[in-house]
């Protein structure tokens, strides 16, 4: 399992991750998953994989391919957009919030919303 690694990359505590994922998850359950005391059920694995934007195979250690961005035929990201998102996802959550506010402020000053 790579739960701890992914959680720490985002600068999240076990409690914060439990709060984000919801559905009666607790800090203790996250701790149990990270220490291999219990394994999360498929619904929790799916929510974790979606939140961290990785495949379930990567999350459980069956693959080294994170599968970071999933593009659809409806909406394709440019290379710069993909790069920007990859960089932003590595910021701790509190800095991500600040970055978003900063970008909104710039757009507002440029008259774009």
Cα→Cα distances 55→2, 10, 32, 45, 60, Å? 11, 17, 21, 9, 9
pLDDT per residue as tens digits for the range 49-76: 989 989 888 999 888 888 654 554 455 7
pLDDT per residue as tens digits for the range 19-44: 999 878 999 999 999 999 999 999 89
Tokens at residue 77, please? Answer: 């990201």
17 has a pLDDT exceeding 90:
yes
């Amino acid at each position: 399992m790579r739960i701890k690694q992914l959680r720490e990359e985002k600068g999240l505590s076990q409690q914060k991750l439990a709060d984000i994922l919801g559905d009666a998850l607790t800090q203790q359950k996250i701790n149990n998953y990270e220490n291999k005391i219990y394994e999360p059920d498929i619904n929790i694995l799916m929510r974790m994989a979606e939140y961290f934007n990785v495949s379930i195979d990567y999350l459980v250690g069956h693959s080294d391919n994170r599968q970071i961005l999933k593009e659809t035929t409806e909406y394709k990201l440019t290379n710069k957009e993909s790069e920007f998102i990859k960089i932003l996802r590595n910021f701790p959550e509190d800095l991500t919030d600040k970055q978003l506010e900063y970008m909104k402020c710039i757009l507002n000053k440029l008259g774009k919303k």
